[in-house]
Structure 1
Amino acid sequence: MSNSENIYELPKNLPVPVDDGACNHLTGLQLPSVSLQSTVGSLVELASLPGRTVLYCYPRTGRPDQDLPDNWDLIPGARGCTPQSCAFRDHYQELQQARATQVFGISTQASSYQQEAVQRLHLPFALLSDAALAFTNALSLPTFEIAGMTLMKRLTLISDHGRIVKVFYPVFPPDKNATEVLSWLSEHPLDD
C-alpha cells in the first residue's frame, strides 16, 4: 500500500483548507435536540449531556480494503479521518483528565459502517451517525459532496452543558487536532 493509499498516514503536500467563515455562527449556540445513533447501540442526544463534551466532526473513515473516493486527496481537509480518530484515541485519558466528560466522533456515515472503525482502531469512545443530516442541518454545519455522499467538513466543537463554547475550524492537520483541543481545555477549565 503506497503512502497515498495508506489511511493511517497523511500524505505530504495535502491542500490546506481555508477558513471560509462557515462556522462563525456556532459559538454560543445550544446543540440541537437531535438523537444520534451511537456505535454502542444507543441513541445520544448531545444537547442534554451534562458537563463538557468534545465532538469532532469528520468526513468519513476509510477502510484498508476499500479504495478512497476519486480525487479524495485533492479536496482541502478531506483526508485524515483515521489519523484524527487515532489521535483522539491516544489522548483520550488526557482529555478525561482535562475534564472532558464525553468525547465523540461524528460523521454522516451509517452507524454500521462506523462500527468497523471503532473495532479496527480500538476507539475507547463511541462514534455517532448523522446519516439523516439532522444534526448537520440543525446547526448549518459545512458539508461537501463527493461520489453521491454528503459529508461534513472537518471541525471540532466543545460544548458545556449542551452550549457550544469553542469551535475548531478548519482543522488541519487532522492528526494534531486532539492536542489542540487538549491545549484549549487546559487553558479554559470548566466552571462548575
Structure 2
Amino acid sequence: MARRTAPTDPHCAIASALDVVGDWWTLLIVRDTARGVRRFDALHKELGVSRKVLAERLREMVAAGILERQPYQSGPVRYEYVLTPRGRALLPVLIALQDWGDGWVLGDGTATATADEGSREALRVRELVGTRLPELRLPGAGGSLDPVAPDMPFTVLYCFPGAYARPEAYPPGWSAVPGAPGCTLESCTYRDRLADFTAAGAGVHGVSTQRPDEQEAFAAKERLRFPLLSDAGLELTAALRLPTFRTGGAVRLKRLTLVVDAGRTVRAALYPITDIEQSVAAALEAVRTAAAAETVR
C-alpha cells in the first residue's frame, strides 16, 4: 500500500502498521471477511462503499498479504477474499478497538463482564439472531473442534470470562469485576442439566479465551461431559463481534449464550446474563422453542 503520511520515525512499528491498515475501509474489510462476508458484491452491500474504492482496497490488501483471492466459480472465474495468517493476526487489533469503543465511547470506561439491558452493546449481541456462524474450528481437548456440535439439531454455545481448576489461578481483582464471578456455577449447571439439553436435541459447548490446558484442567476437576473450546486467537469473537473486557493482562469474553441450529444460524442470543441458573433454564427453553418451530415447518 502507498504511504499516506510522511514518517516522523522510520523505525516506528506503529507508523509502519498504519501505512498498511490505517485506512478506515481496510479494517472494516478485515472485520467483515472475518465473519464470512467474502465476495465482492456482499462486501459492497455490507459496507456501503463505492465499488471503485472497494476494488482498490481489496487489491491493496491482497498485495499487502492481508487477504488472498480464492476462486469460487469458473466460467467466468469469480473470487472471494479470505484472510491470510497475516490478516488473522489483526483480529486482536479489531477486538481491542471494539473493547475500547464499548468501554470508552459507548460506556464510562469501567471494566465489566456484563452490560445494561438497553445498551448498544446488548442490542448488538441480540441482533446476532438470524446471522450465520462462519466455518471455523477452535482448539479443545483432543484437537480442534467446530463450535457447532456435530450430529445435533442445535448447539448451546455459552461464552464465559474464565474458569480455573485452582482458585489462586484467577487474576487479581477478578471478584470485583461486575459479571465475572460465576463461571464455575455456570459450567456445573450445564453439566447437571446436560441430559435435559440432549433430550431437547442440543449439544453444549463452552467457550472462553483461556488456553486449552487451563480449560482442560478445569473440565477434569469439575467432571464436565461436554467440550470447552479456546478462542484465544479471537476468531469466533471477531467473527461475531462478541463483547469483551480486559483484566489480568488478557482479553476475556463477557458472559453470553447463543443457541445455534445445525445450519449454523443463531436462533437465540441471551445477553446480558445476570442470573446464571436462570440463563441456563432460558437456554433450554430457547432450544425447545426452536425445535418446536422446526416441527411446525
Residue in 1 that maps onto 2:120: 21
Q: Secondary structure at the match of 1:56?
A: strand
Q: Does 1:164 align with 2:266?
A: yes
Shift of 1:65: 4.4
Aligned partner of 2:72 in structure 1 is none
User: Does the CA contact (< 8 Å) of 2:154 and 2:260 recur in 1?
Assistant: yes
> Aligned residue for 1:183?
285
Q: Distance in 2 between matches of 1:31 and 1:148?
A: 28
Who wins on radius of gyration, i.e. which is larger? 2
Task: Summarize the Cα distance change of 1:66–1:48 in structure 2 as closer, same or farther, 3 Å threshold.
Answer: closer
Deviation at 1:189, TM superposition (A): 1.9
User: Number of residue pairs matched?
Assistant: 176
Match of 1:151 in 2: 252
Structure 1 alignment gaps of length 5 or more: 1-14
Which residue identity lines up with residue 27 of structure 1 in the other structure? Answer: V
**2:143 aligned with 1:42:** yes
Separation (CA, whole Å) in 1 of partners of 2:139 and 2:194: 21
Matched residues, percent identical?
A: 32
Residues 130-149 of structure 1: CA distance to partner in whole angstroms, max 9, x if unpaired? 01111101111000001211
State the secondary structure of the residue aligned to 1:46. coil
Tell me, in whole angstroms, the C-alpha distance in 2 between the residues paired with 1:143 and 1:47: 21
| 2:133 equivalent to 1:31 | yes
Corresponding position of 2:90: none
CA deviations 1:159-179 (Å, max 9, x no partner) are 112110100101122233222
Greater RCO (Cα-Cα under 8 Å, separation 6 or more):
1
Counterpart secondary structure, 2:172: coil
1:142 aligns with 2:240: no
Bigger proportion of residues as strand: 1
What one-letter code is carried by the residue in structure 2 that aligns with 1:176?
A: Q
Question: Higher helix proportion, which one?
Answer: 2
Instruction: Kindly indicate whether residue 197 of structure 2 is the aligned counterpart of residue 95 of structure 1.
Output: yes
Partner AA of 1:18 in structure 2: D
Larger deviation, residues 166-175 vs 63-72: 63-72
Residue 116 of structure 1 pairs with residue 214 of structure 2: no
- The letter for the 2-side match of 1:171 is I
> CA 1:67 to 1:131, structure 2 compared with 1: closer, same or farther past 3 Å?
closer
Query: Secondary structure, in 3 states, of the residue corresponding to 1:188?
Result: helix
Q: Which amino acid aligns with 1:31?
A: L
Given that 1:77 and 1:172 are in contact with CA atoms closer than 8 Å, whether structure 2 keeps it comes out as yes
Residues 34 and 47 in structure 1, CA contact (< 8 A), matched pair in contact too: no
Q: Is 1:87–1:176's contact at 8 Å kept on the other side of the alignment?
A: no
Whole-angstrom distance in 2 between the partners of 1:118 and 1:127: 8
TM-score norm. by structure 2 comes to 0.55
Return the alpha-carbon distance in structure 1 between the equivalents of residues 172 and 147 of structure 2: 33
Take 2:170 and 2:209, find their aligned partners in 1: how far apart are those partners? 16
CA distance 1:109–1:67, change in 2 (3 Å): closer
Q: Which amino acid aligns with 1:132?
A: G
Q: Which runs of 5+ in 2 are unaligned?
A: 1-112
Q: Distance in 2 between matches of 1:67 and 1:158?
A: 30
CA contact (8 A) 1:60 1:109 kept: yes
| 8 A Cα contact 1:84 1:176, kept in partner | no
Matched residue type, 1:146? T
Q: What CA deviation, in whole Å up to 9, does each residue of 1:44-92 have, x standing for no partner? A: 2236845211100000003334153233223221111000000000000
